[in-house]
Amino acid sequence: MKILIAEDEEDMRKVLVKGLKAEGYKAEGCENGEEALARVLAADYDLIILDIMMPVMDGLTALKSMRANDVTSPVIMLTAKDTIDDKVTGLDAGANDYIVKPFAFEELLARIRAVKRTESGSISDIITVANLSLDTKSHIVKRDETEISFTGKEYNLLEYLMINHGQIISRAKILDHVWGYEYDGGMKIVDVYMNYVRKKVDENYEPKLIHTVRGIGYVLREENEK
């Protein structure tokens, strides 16, 4: 899951990014709403965390611009003002949830899990395709009930494919989602890691689930799916 955190307080931003990475999320930080808007218009994020009070462009203005530009990623607002007006304004602008500062990191994790469940339309943390299952909370992956071990990057790659089950994903999107906005290496790394994941997921199992779409990218689906 790829998360963007827009927070102008540098220490808090660094703590949140570090903490979310430790929980297995792909987290990036920026310091104002203008930068956050530019990033989400240029790349896909599974979740955006926006502080309301930021310089250059505040969080509410950034959120309104995102929604006006058809950005549908869920948004959690951070606010130091525990007032009904702030909550209503944020939700009316298109926010999915809000957290009042100061907050415990565990509360943020719970809010993120809740948003994920709401977006998927399910209360389960487990994604299943054929006989392959992935638990987004524990990061346990099983094929035919046999647990398979993955490195962090391999897991993030597989999770992205499974969340987008049945959809063809370009190499460029995979590179941005798994390796991040600031990665400046070549596109070949996507094919290298895809081979690692495919070997673990498909080599000794049926049906084959990871498929190459020539000239475009990859898709995870059963062979008879359209």
Separation between Cα atoms, residue 31 and residue 156, nearest integer Å: 25
The tally of CA atoms less than 13 A away on the side-chain side of residue 112 is 26
The torsion defined by the Cα of 175, 19, 16 and 160, in degrees rounded to 10, comes to: 30
Q: How confident is the model at residue 112 (pLDDT cuts 50, 70, 90)?
A: confident
Reference 129, options 118, 147, 148, 142; nearest CA is 142
**What tens digit of pLDDT does each residue of 167-199 get?**
898 998 888 878 876 677 788 999 999 999 999
**What tens digit of pLDDT does each residue of 30-83 get?**
999 999 999 999 998 999 999 998 999 999 999 999 999 999 999 999 987 655
Separation between Cα atoms, residue 226 and residue 223, nearest integer Å: 8
The tally of CA atoms less than 13 A away on the side-chain side of residue 96 is 20
